[in-house]
Amino acid sequence: MIYYFSGTGNSRYVAQRLGASIRQEARFIPATNPYTETLGQEPDSSIGIVFPVYSWGVPPIVLDFLAHLPEAMMEDIRSRNIPLWCVATCGDETGDALTMLRKALRARNVDLSGAWSVIMPNVYVMLPGFGTDSASLEEKKLKESISRVTEIAGRIEKGDFAFDVHTGTFPRLRTSITYPLFRRWGVQTKRWHFTDTCISCGKCARTCPVGNIAMSDGHPVWGTDCTSCCACFHICPTNSIQYGRITRKMGQYSFRNPSEQ
């Protein structure tokens, strides 16, 4: 079983490609009720968690999901020695996200058997200094992700688990300072708005991974459950959706399956 979260498509691609390679179902976290999850009677070769790195940390929705999985499932993982692994997608580096995830899992008395990172195109646009990659760098990252995911799938199939994560420089410092600020101030729903170029297509509402956007009188209205994935910003065909003034000059990203290029 693979549990994954994705907003713009990078982590979804990785999770689904891994799932196809190792013959495991990939389940989308927002569409999965953690309280009713179970391993069942079928033998599970491993359990994976795939997620994008947010502010050098783990998306809160992923941590919340793991915290609410049934204790019976955790006991099954322990008693049956089922390997638990993760893959973190990131624009450049993960920071100390792996430590954060292991701390959350150890609170449930389980731990990771292995972890990998996969570099994918940058999508975060909600802070100065961030932004999308150039077209050439985006293409390079997508092409290189093919062999990286294939390598990870092969290791998982063989049970050859490792900790191969690109943390970058000063990972603990980056995560300890930036992630708490992101949790407290990084998601301000009221800052999302649309401009007069909105064509009422509703793509933003259909794309939001947590159903946080509703259409009212033909225009988007944001709820209080934003995950800061930026999917609505990137999907807008007229670049109408903006986050305060920060995103006005930011580029948009549209995921393209590198295996189909």
108-143 tens-digit pLDDT: 999 999 999 999 999 999 887 889 999 999 999 999
Q: Which domain holds residue 65?
A: 2-182
- On whether both 110 and 152 belong to a single domain, the answer is yes
- On whether both 56 and 106 belong to a single domain, the answer is yes
- On whether both 104 and 227 belong to a single domain, the answer is no
Question: Residue 42 has what pLDDT?
Answer: 65
Q: Confirm whether 199 is domain-assigned.
A: yes
Q: Which of 115, 118, 96, 119 is nearest to 46 (CA)?
A: 115
Question: Residue 106 has what pLDDT?
Answer: 97
- Provide the CATH number for the domain around residue 238: 3.30.70.20
CA 107 → CA 16, 47, 69, 192, distances in Å? 28, 17, 12, 35
- On whether both 130 and 233 belong to a single domain, the answer is no
- Show Cβ contacts of residue 103 under 8 Å, excluding neighbours closer than 6 positions: none
Q: Confirm whether 261 is domain-assigned.
A: no
Q: Which of 130, 152, 182 corresponds to the end of one domain? A: 182
Q: Confirm whether 217 is domain-assigned.
A: yes
- On whether both 229 and 130 belong to a single domain, the answer is no
pLDDT tens column, 184-195: 877 888 899 999
Q: Confirm whether 256 is domain-assigned.
A: no
Q: Which of 182, 198, 217 corresponds to the end of one domain? A: 182
- On whether both 207 and 168 belong to a single domain, the answer is no
CA 9 → CA 5, 6, 80, 209, distances in Å? 9, 6, 33, 10
pLDDT tens column, 54-72: 999 999 999 999 999 999 9
Question: Residue 202 has what pLDDT?
Answer: 97
pLDDT tens column, 137-167: 999 999 999 999 999 999 999 999 999 999 9
- On whether both 105 and 204 belong to a single domain, the answer is no
Q: Confirm whether 63 is domain-assigned.
A: yes
Q: Which of 130, 147, 182 corresponds to the end of one domain? A: 182
Q: Is 81 left (phi over 0), alpha (psi -120 to 50) or beta?
A: left
Count of domains in the chain? 2
Quote the tokens at residue 96.
């100390």
Q: Confirm whether 257 is domain-assigned.
A: no
Q: Confirm whether 258 is domain-assigned.
A: no
- On whether both 26 and 142 belong to a single domain, the answer is yes
- On whether both 92 and 172 belong to a single domain, the answer is yes
Q: To 10 degrees, what angle do helices 97-106 and 171-185 make? A: 70
Q: Are 99 and 56 in contact (CB under 8 A)?
A: no
- On whether both 145 and 42 belong to a single domain, the answer is yes
Share of the chain above pLDDT 70, in %: 98
- On whether both 175 and 192 belong to a single domain, the answer is no
Q: Confirm whether 259 is domain-assigned.
A: no
- Provide the CATH number for the domain around residue 146: 3.40.50.360
- On whether both 136 and 193 belong to a single domain, the answer is no
